[in-house]
Structure 1
Amino acid sequence: MLAIVAAVIFGLALIFDLTDLSLGEVFDGGTLLTAGLLCVALHLAGVGAGARGRSFNWRRTRSR
């Protein structure tokens, strides 16, 4: 899920960069790029996939 969010954020950052658009002082291409990298790092660290993986392992061990 975080990888999809990161892809959307990277897409917005690219559009902002190509059009030289910025939403005030806070949200520009660099800020969105940093947010996208944070989402990718969290995805690679395994954040957001824990609950689904544990329930699958529980069902598999119970069926033996």
Structure 2
Amino acid sequence: MVAIAAAVLFGLALLFELISYSVSILTPQTLTTAGLLCVALHLAGIGTARPARRRSRR
């Protein structure tokens, strides 16, 4: 889920860079940084669909 958000942010950053669009707070660099944060959270395991494994005693 977080990886999808990162892909959307990277796509918006690319689109803003290609059309040279920039609002004072929403720049391509800001979107790229937010995308990298989402990728880092995804790699850390935040937002994954699988729950943590539990150890069972037998």
| TM band (smaller chain) | 0.7 to 0.9
Which is helix-richer, 1 or 2?
A: 1
- Tell me the number of residue pairs that the alignment of Structure 1 and Structure 2 aligns: 56
Cα RMSD (Å): 2.0
Residue ranges of structure 2 left out of the alignment (5+ in a row): none
Q: Which runs of 5+ in 1 are unaligned?
A: none
Under a length normalisation based on structure 1, what TM-score does the superposition of the two structures give? 0.76
Q: Percent identity?
A: 56
Comparing both chains, which one has the higher relative contact order based on Cα–Cα distances under 8 Å and sequence gaps of 6 or more?
2
CA distance in 1: counterparts of 2:13 and 2:34, whole angstroms: 10
| TM-score of the pair, normalised by structure 2 | 0.83
- Choose 1 or 2 for highest CA Rg: 1
